Amino acid sequence: MTAPDYGRAFALWRARAPQWQSYTHHAFVEGLRTGDLSRARFLHYLRQDYVFLIHFARAWALAAAKADTLAELRAASATVQALVHVEMPLHVQVCAAAGIDAATLEATEEAPANLAYTRYVLEAGYSGDFLDLMAALAPCVLGYGEIGARLAGSGGPYADWIDTYAGPDYQALCRDVGAMIDGALLHRLGPGWADLPRFDRLTQHYSTATRLEVGFWQMGPASA
């Protein structure tokens, strides 16, 4: 399968991140596709992902604070709003259906691999600028899009999860975010952005964040 079209920066970053395949074809992902992933590992993942979403929303809020144009400010703000008022309540609901109540969810102890990724993203954003933040956020947003697109129609016990990321809403979001990133690069660095050292630095952020996404899949309960 070819890569989905989420813009030019994504295509370049994806091709240059050594662990992109390890991330998007991780055993955890294959387990979601085939249905062989244990329920325990999935629930462990869901709980960690809930904590992840809080910090991810904070990272998008930071992007809004660091926006250089009104369009960037609006896009980042809308993403925070969607994460906080749509994604997170949905997550609470899915967990509740799986028998994890809100209190248990809130009490989740953040795993090191989870901490590593979200703090890396936030710190890249705080120490760098809007572009650094986007490059570090992109593997999550767009990687889940690519995984969703590839797993579409797999069915099985994880069909709901797959459909969320394979669905038209999430795919449109990926195209929008990809376009915003390309626009942000053009706006700041001009048409030759792909050839500047600045872009290499962003590629490093993308690669490191991809490495940390592999670690995220790796997490699992002791007994899984």
What number of other Cβ atoms are within 10 A of residue 5's Cβ? 11
Least distance (Å) from its own copies to the CB of residue 80?
A: 5
| CB-nearer residue toward its own copies: 166 or 212 | 212
The tokens for 7 are 């813009």
User: Is 105 a binder of its own copies (CB under 8 A)?
Assistant: no
Residues 62-101: x where in contact with its own copies by CB under 8 A, - otherwise, as a string:
x-xxxxx-x--xx-xxx-xx--xx--x-------------
Least distance (Å) from its own copies to the CB of residue 165?
A: 23
CA distance 64 to 140: 18
* Burial class of residue 176, CB neighbours in 10 A (0-12, 13-18, 19+): middle
Which listed residue (100, 201, 219, 224) binds its own copies by CB under 8 A?
201
The count of residues interacting with its own copies (CB under 8 A) is: 50
Which listed residue (153, 190, 222, 223) binds its own copies by CB under 8 A?
190
| CB-nearer residue toward its own copies: 90 or 196 | 196
In sequence order, which ranges of the chain are alpha helices (DSSP H)? 8-16, 20-24, 27-34, 39-65, 70-82, 88-97, 102-106, 112-127, 130-151, 159-166, 168-189, 197-218
User: Is 113 a binder of its own copies (CB under 8 A)?
Assistant: yes
User: Is 3 a binder of its own copies (CB under 8 A)?
Assistant: no
CA distance 93 to 76: 25
CA distance 46 to 10: 26
Q: Which stretches of the chain bind its own copies, using CB under 8 A?
A: 54, 57-59, 61-62, 64-68, 70, 73-74, 76-78, 80-81, 84-85, 88, 110, 112-113, 115-116, 119-120, 122-123, 126-129, 132, 187-190, 192, 195-198, 201, 208, 211-212, 215
